[in-house]
Structure 1
Amino acid sequence: MTTETTPTRTVRRGPYRNGIRTRHEILEAATGVFAQHGFIGGTLRQIADEVGVSPAALLRHFSSKEELLTEVLATSDARNGVEIFGDHEGLAYFDRSGALVRRNVENRRLVELLLTVKTEASDPAHPARSFMERRATRYREQLTEQLCIARDRGEIGAFTDEELEMEVHGYTALMDGIELQWLLDPKLDLVSLWDRHYAGLRARWVAGTAGQG
């Protein structure tokens, strides 16, 4: 005779749940410290002090400052990918950029961190250089793929592959540049500014007019 059994659900208690909470608090603190002081200027001790743990305790969750930075940015990228862009493809993918900008307004410290580390990592000797290079390459490839989908579906003009790559460079430069202006002048309406510039960019794509390179 066979007996149907109900799988036993493992209930996580005590140290496990506390560990998850501490890890989250470390990521939040790291975002703020790195945003304020940069990756090089920010220290593990500063982050540990923000959380209320020792540097040794912090290193039980993250083995190094480089790993901590990678996790902060990777966590943000993954969350945006799922919650904002989801399964959107082609031009619809880029139309979600406004939602990303709106989220960035609510996460100023993360924008500060990303732009600071991008600048610092221009130094070939920077510890995060390899990670930032891989991240930038992956991001450009993803955007180029979505523009190719838009072109092949007839949503935008018949751009060449080279032209699409140039458009992606322009798109990312526009995003970074507008957000940098906003960081320098918080009174700037970042959402309105992005929406207006993106509308012009989108119209040019649909018309099939390549940008001036």
Structure 2
Amino acid sequence: MTQTKRGPYKNGIVRRRQILDKAVEVFGTYGYLAGSLRQIAAEVGVTPAALARHFDSKEDLLVEVLRYWENDNAHRTAGAEPTGVAALRDLTDLMEYHLRHRGFLQLFLTLGVEATNPDHPARQFIVERYASTREGFAKRIQDAIDAGELMPLPPEQVQSEARLLIAALDGFELQWLLDPDFDLVSEVDRFIEATIRRLEGTPRLPVDK
């Protein structure tokens, strides 16, 4: 019977994953600029020299963290995606994902602020990420319009609505990071439903007191 060997290669993959997980926490908590490789190495339980065997530099580690996050997020969206208004309601499920991946969310919002500096190493990634998110949200809205579920809107208003969605979701997520008692999923669900009613042309329902 042949026994599978763990070996240095398997151990190296595990260690690399540990470093990435801890880097998400450190960069998310302190930012890329303040978070240090020495701190990450200490929290993983390795020396800075051992960490350097996996990542050539701090910038290289950041690139791999962002790639790691993108791959993880891709698994969430794998499979058949909802269309029309259902695709807008799917944004509530995205909040459920964030509840389980606080570190990734904290990292993204922290880098979003830091990357306003044109020289930040994550600048291009963040700019492209916001652009692709805006286009993705605009497509969800336009698809719902094309399906006859929302009232027709000019292209510039579709883009404006997409930007509003980004601003609202980032704001809700930030409030949750600051206040663990903030009900992120419920608040986003209410906002999405109100947005759908508004874009349907349906009068806003009174708030229960």
The TM tier, using the shorter chain, reads: 0.7 to 0.9
> Is contact 1:62-1:68 (8 Å) kept?
yes
Provide the residue aligned with 1:27 in structure 2.
20
> Is contact 1:84-1:96 (8 Å) kept?
no
1:149 aligns with 2:153: no
1:50 aligns with 2:43: yes
The runs of 5 or more residues in structure 2 that have no matched partner are 204-209
TM-score in terms of structure 1 length:
0.83
* Cα distance in 1, alignment partners of residues 49 and 136 from structure 2: 38
Partner of residue 162 from structure 1, selected from 145, 156, 160: 156
Provide the residue aligned with 2:178 in structure 1.
184
Q: How much does 1:168 deviate? A: 0.6
Q: How much does 1:59 deviate? A: 2.8
Q: How much does 1:169 deviate? A: 0.3
Provide the residue aligned with 1:107 in structure 2.
101
Q: How much does 1:38 deviate? A: 0.7
* Cα distance in 1, alignment partners of residues 147 and 53 from structure 2: 49
* Cα distance in 2, alignment partners of residues 41 and 87 from structure 1: 40
Q: How much does 1:208 deviate? A: 8.2
1:73 aligns with 2:66: yes
1:59 aligns with 2:64: no
* Cα distance in 2, alignment partners of residues 125 and 39 from structure 1: 13
* Cα distance in 2, alignment partners of residues 172 and 201 from structure 1: 13
Task: Indicate the larger mover: 41-50 or 132-141.
Answer: 132-141
Structure 1 residues 101 and 38, CA, compared in 2 at 3 Å: closer, same or farther? same
* Cα distance in 2, alignment partners of residues 194 and 22 from structure 1: 36
Task: Indicate the larger mover: 132-141 or 159-168.
Answer: 132-141
CA offsets 1:112-148 (integer angstroms, 9 cap, x no match): 2111111111122222212211221222222222322
Q: How much does 1:33 deviate? A: 0.6
Q: How much does 1:21 deviate? A: 0.7
* Cα distance in 1, alignment partners of residues 75 and 199 from structure 2: 25
Task: Indicate the larger mover: 133-142 or 164-173.
Answer: 133-142
| Alignment: residue pair count | 199
Identity %: 42
Task: Indicate the larger mover: 136-145 or 164-173.
Answer: 136-145
Q: How much does 1:85 deviate? A: 6.3
